[in-house]
Structure 1
Amino acid sequence: MFEGTVSAALPKREFYGELTMQARALLADETNRVANAANLSALLYQTMPELNWAGFYFLTGGELVVGPFQGKPACVRIAIGRGVCGRAAETRETQVVPDVHAFPGHIACDAASRSEIVIPLVSGAGDLIGVLDLDSPVPARFDDEDRAGLEAVAAVFVGSLGERGTGS
């Protein structure tokens, strides 16, 4: 059984270095998208402080559809371009939102969420796979160090799926 432990007391750069190594070990030798998303969302939720949601939305039929996650029940479908997740999918750029209430068109799946970070997941072939979404009840929870660290973790996930990024 995998036992992920990263001290939240570490400086962020070290924290994310450890988290990335643990993600790599957790996803090693597995290419199934659902299995890896389930395990990675659990690792993030259990390891990162001040989260109330951590999970995935996958591109399906031209929209984002909820995948494995940790937290309260979530919105099932999100249009590309709508809300923070849809914006990250549309632009293929990480969205760091210090105050979700100030984000035009924010979709409130959990009223307790105050800040959010969404990382687009793009295959080596350049195809959008989906997004990795983390929410926090703490305003301005995420910063540029979180962006860089979570982009590295997301890259481990995408790499685990193989060249096309679809997994088996």
Structure 2
Amino acid sequence: MTIKQTDYSLVTRQLDALLDGETDFIANLSNASALLNENLEQINWVGFYLIKNGELILGPFQGKPACMHIQIGKGVCGTAVKEDAIQRVADVNTFPGHIACDAASQSEIVLPIHHNNEIIGVLDIDAPITNRFSEEDAQGLAHFVKTLEQHLSERK
């Protein structure tokens, strides 16, 4: 199956317009996850985990119920925070310590989110097929996250 490449430039412009003037943290993350869910093919979960009390806590998302607590340094999301780096995993079954919240997920991409020069959480996207996320996806999503970061105000 061929996956149509997402027009990340368009999706990012839509995000920028959608969040323009809105300062509510949760509302912005909710609309960001909905926007990605509508525009990415072959994904089964998209959402956010936010750092609270030294761990990642489930935030706004689209998809099946998910793990609510993830330790920093554990799984793909926790590794993204620990390393402050995008994690693009072609086959989650080969990732040491992968946390299987949904057995249908086969590949994953996680991007750290920053505010005031510190990591505040991650964008996590899962797919039901292996090798779903390309380098182009990583670059496009990194630009999406940078735009999201520009709209984030202090969490309430």
Give the TM-score of the pair, scaled to structure 1: 0.88
* CA distances 1:10-46 after superposition (whole Å, capped 9, x unpaired): x55xx01111101111111112110001011011011
Q: 2:142 matched to which residue of 1?
A: 151
Please give the root-mean-square deviation of Cα atoms over the aligned residues, in Å: 1.3
Q: 1:70 matched to which residue of 2?
A: 62
Unpaired segments ≥5 residues, structure 2 = none
Aligned length: 154
Instruction: Report whether the alignment pairs 1:34 with 2:23.
Output: no
Counterpart selection for 1:45 from 34, 37, 42: 37
Instruction: Report whether the alignment pairs 1:83 with 2:75.
Output: yes
* CA distances 1:79-117 after superposition (whole Å, capped 9, x unpaired): 000000000011110000000000000000000000000
Q: 1:130 matched to which residue of 2?
A: 121
Instruction: Report whether the alignment pairs 1:108 with 2:73.
Output: no
Instruction: Report whether the alignment pairs 1:17 with 2:9.
Output: yes
Structure-2 separation of matches of 1:95 and 1:77: 19
For 2:144, the aligned partner's letter is V
For 1:154, the aligned partner's letter is V
Instruction: Report whether the alignment pairs 1:95 with 2:87.
Output: yes
Q: 1:55 matched to which residue of 2?
A: 47
SS of residue paired to 2:110: strand
Structure-2 separation of matches of 1:25 and 1:66: 25
For 2:83, the aligned partner's letter is T
Identity percentage over the alignment? 48
Q: Where in structure 1 do 4 or more consecutive aligned residues deviate above 3 Å?
A: none
Give the TM-score of the pair, scaled to structure 2: 0.95
Structure-1 separation of matches of 2:45 and 2:88: 15
1:167 positional shift: 4.2
Preserved CA contact (<8 Å) 1:31 1:167: no
Q: 2:131 matched to which residue of 1?
A: 140
Preserved CA contact (<8 Å) 1:53 1:71: yes
